[in-house]
Amino acid sequence: MFLRKIFFSLLLLPALAFAHNPDKHGANGGARGLRNVTVLIVRHAEKPDEGSGLSARGEQRAQAYASYFAPLRLDGDQTLLPQRLIATSDSKSSARPRLTLTPLAERLQLPLEQPYADEQVDKLVKSLRKENQAAVVLIAWHHGHIADLIDSFGGDTQSLLGSNKWPGDVYNWLIVLHFDEHGRLIASASQRVQEHLLPGD
């Protein structure tokens, strides 16, 4: 009987450890939301004069992202490996956000999520606050709504972009948003990064 009790106690240990790991599974074993999360935002890669895909340079950038983000290395020896990849849902005019992250998704063997249309940034942020489990989330979006996306996260668009909107001719910026243990944006730790991946960046 004594040995049987020890045996069942040992079986319970993994379950107890799982339940009491708030950093990984959230305060109550649920989703972590944006608590201690880093969100990375890029514009889709370069577009051609016509069509819904990427230009030759855009395809080069998408391929470069497969190395750049696996993992991302920032100043101060900070290393970030995306655990979720999210892109704008495809439309008749553009599949570019999805195509931008496809090589990275294949390299990391992660699903590429496309739950929301371009203008549905509030729904995206709300879902991340409620259901996210990943510590690092990478988002590819259309430039016309990235300012709205930053605003929805609580960011200072003017400070991060130097304007109230993402410039139409810029493809080589990365926005890094860090959130604290309460899911609040840490403005002082958030930044815009120049990628320098391709000639002319």
Residues sharing a CB contact under 8 Å with residue 53, sequence separation 6 or more, in sequence order: 47, 95, 96, 99
Instruction: Say what the pLDDT of residue 16 is.
Output: 33
The string of pLDDT tens digits covering residues 56-81 is: 999 999 999 999 999 999 987 789 99
Kindly report whether the peptide bond that precedes residue 71 is cis, defined as omega within 30 degrees of 0: yes
174 vs 9, residue with greater confidence: 174
Mean pLDDT value of segment 90-100: 97
Distance (Å, rounded) from C-alpha 186 to C-alpha 201?
Answer: 27
Q: How many other CB atoms are found less than 10 A from the CB of residue 34?
A: 24
7 vs 186, residue with greater confidence: 186
Q: Which two tokens stand for residue 126?
A: 């709300």
Q: Is the pLDDT of residue 143 over 90?
A: yes
Distance (Å, rounded) from C-alpha 114 to C-alpha 95?
Answer: 11
Distance (Å, rounded) from C-alpha 154 to C-alpha 125?
Answer: 10
Instruction: Say what the pLDDT of residue 189 is.
Output: 94
Residue 158's identity, in one-letter code, is Q
For tokens 């079986």, name the residue: 11
Domains of the chain, CATH where assigned: 31-194 (3.40.50.1240)
Return the beta strands (E) in the chain as ranges: 38-43, 72-74, 78-80, 84-87, 112-113, 136-141, 173-178, 191-194
DSSP character for 35?
A: T
Q: How far apart are the first and last CA of the chain?
A: 70
Q: How far is CA 19 from the centre of its chain?
A: 26
The string of pLDDT tens digits covering residues 27-55 is: 334 579 999 999 999 999 999 999 999 99
Distance (Å, rounded) from C-alpha 124 to C-alpha 113?
Answer: 11
CA-based R_g, the chain, Å: 19
Q: Is the pLDDT of residue 10 over 70?
A: no
Distance (Å, rounded) from C-alpha 33 to C-alpha 62?
Answer: 28
Distance (Å, rounded) from C-alpha 41 to C-alpha 61?
Answer: 15
